[in-house]
Each structure stands twice: as C-alpha cells, then as structure tokens.
Amino acid sequence: MMRRIAVACLGLFLLGGMLGCGGRPVALPVQPVAAPEPVRTENNDQARLKEALTGRELSPGEVADLSDRLLADDNALNDQETMARLELAILKAMKGPDKTHRAALWRNLGIIHYHQKKYKAAQHDLQSANELNPKNARTHFYMACLFAHQGQIYEKQGKKKLSRQQFKRAAIEMELARKIEPSNSLYKQDPKQIIQQENGK
C-alpha cells in the first residue's frame, strides 16, 4: 500500500513539474542544433591525394576510386600539379601485390599521360589496361583518341595510307566503346573531330 502511494506521489510530483504552478505547461528550454558543415568532395579528394603521398597509404582500390573522381573533374584534369600528384599516387599503388584494380590504375595512368601529351606512354598504359580488362569503354575511348591523334600527325606529314590506317583503328576502338556503353553520348562522337576540338581547330 505504501509503495502505491509513493509511486502516485512521484507521478504527481513529475506532472506538477511539467505543468508548473497553477497547472499551466512549462516551456522547457530547447538547445539549438548546429547544422553540419557541407562536405566538399573536391577538397576532400585533394586532401586524400596529399595523404596518399605523405600520410596514410591508400589501398589500390581507394587510389582507383580517387583517380576516377579526379579525372572526371575538368578543374583537376587541367591542374598540372594535381595530375602529377595523381600519377605518383597511382604508380605507388601499382607497386603493391594487389592486382585487383590494376586495369583501372593502368587506364587512369594512360588518361593522365594522354592529357599531358605523353602519347607513347599513354598508349603503353592503355594497352596494358586493355589486356587486363578489354571490356572497359573508357579505355577504348582514349585508345580511339590516341589513334586519331596519330592519324592526324601522319596526315600533316602527307602519309595518307598510314593516316587512314590510324583513323580506321580509331573508329574500331570507338565502336567497341559504343558497344560496351551504348547510352553514353561521349562514345557517339567522331574521334577525328575530338582531336580537332582538342587542338582548337
């Protein structure tokens, strides 16, 4: 009996505390919640890239994902310092025994070399990527660009037969990219026109 009375008194005490004197509700103070700061992926990727070279070592998969994101960003792609750091991070990741992401790393290294106008190195890298994974549309796209670039060089030198051969190889590579990713409008372009646009013609 005493226990029931004690529980009832406690209940009334709590109810009275919530209602306050006179039975009116008491407004409890509300602590404002700070909004989280927006996440900046570009800065995060740049920070992770620096970390990959100076701090905690990133796994080959992390470097492959990081390089995929940075190579899709025009600002990063046109920043020589970022591309040089990314090249070092990829080379460092490729030294390890894990070969799971090797095709993506070779491809991304080839893309970097392509944009640095190191075409022989780019061709070696992209062919290495293609040998490991022949079903990557992006690899075929950049190989198409390389062949079209070489075709344009031969064309300027008056080597028409060699030029035609390179443009034919470029068309084959672009067709492979289209078959792998038919909905990607990037792969519906003419490789020769891509090279002309890159050269500002």
Tens-digit pLDDT profile for residues 35-61: 555 444 446 888 888 887 887 788 999
Supply the pLDDT for residue 177.
96
pLDDT of 2 > 60? The answer is no
Supply the pLDDT for residue 41.
47
Please spell the DSSP secondary structure of the chain, one letter per residue.
-HHHHHHHHHHHHHHHHHH-GGGPPPPPP-PPPPPPPPP-HHHHHHHHHHHHHHSSPPPHHHHHHHHHHHHT-HHHHT-HHHHHHHHHHHHHHHTSS--TTHHHHHHHHHHHHHHTT-HHHHHHHHHHHHHH-TT-HHHHHHHHHHHHHHHHHHHHTT-HHHHHHHHHHHHHHHHHHHHHSTT-GGGGS-HHHHHHHHTT-
Residue 168: which of 181, 195, 150 has the closest Cα?
A: 150
The mean predicted confidence, pLDDT, of the chain is 83
Mean pLDDT of 12-34: 51
Q: 């080379």: which residue's tokens?
A: 91
pLDDT confidence of 146, banded at 50, 70, 90?
A: very high
pLDDT confidence of 105, banded at 50, 70, 90?
A: very high
